[in-house]
Amino acid sequence: MGDFKQKPGCPTWTAGGIGAERLDHLCQGECYNPTDERLRITRIEVVRIRPQQAPGENVTSLIDNPWRTFKCQDDPAGCIVEFEEEYFIIDKRPAVYCVRAIQEPEKAINARGPRCTRGSKVTCISVNPCWGNYRTPMSDDWLASSEERACATPICVDPKPCTTTRDTSATSGSAQRRSASIQNHADECGRCVVPQSCARRRAA
């Protein structure tokens, strides 16, 4: 689910501590004023990053941003998608998948960044940033449309089997020794190693 939709203005209780005039000066009539309704998640994007397998390998082809895009239904309960990497086993190379949820557009302060005036599609000839002081007129609310997003913990996958010759079943050692053995196992295999069967993942 997305963030709470906001009501215009400020809650009535906000002026109690500093007064209505001071509140208007600081907030210009807009406060955090949530409703019980949530914004929609419009799509889920998956970014795939594969590490270099040799020095000098071109990284441009190793970063797919986005790699997959899934449109979400207009469901207030949220959005659930599944994706499968068809070439993971064939390519036999590690990969990192970063999943991000994109929220429906809404107005946000300074969403346009420096507000660049372009002489061409790529050349910025001047900027009109939100300075946050006397250099920006109070009549300029700096609002622009923005798609807020949230990113999940990266999914790290390695096709190589994780094997170790260390004995982790000794009964005479302490809990601390067992913990150290497990850590050594993780160091040998790598932090992101998972079985091949985990190439299929579910993202919410």
- pLDDT of res. 179: 38
Domain boundaries, the chain: 1-39, 40-104+148-204, 106-146
- Chain mean pLDDT for the chain: 77
HSE on the CB side for 190, CA within 13 Å? 13
**Given a cut of 60, is residue 56 above it in pLDDT?**
yes
- pLDDT of res. 198: 34
Query: What's the CA gap between 61 and 67, in Å, rounded?
Result: 11
Whole-prediction pTM: 0.65
**Given a cut of 60, is residue 186 above it in pLDDT?**
no
Query: What's the CA gap between 113 and 136, in Å, rounded?
Result: 14
The predicted-structure confidence for 99-132, as pLDDT tens digits, reads as follows 999 999 988 888 888 888 887 777 888 888 888 7
The predicted-structure confidence for 64-91, as pLDDT tens digits, reads as follows 999 999 999 888 888 899 988 877 777 7
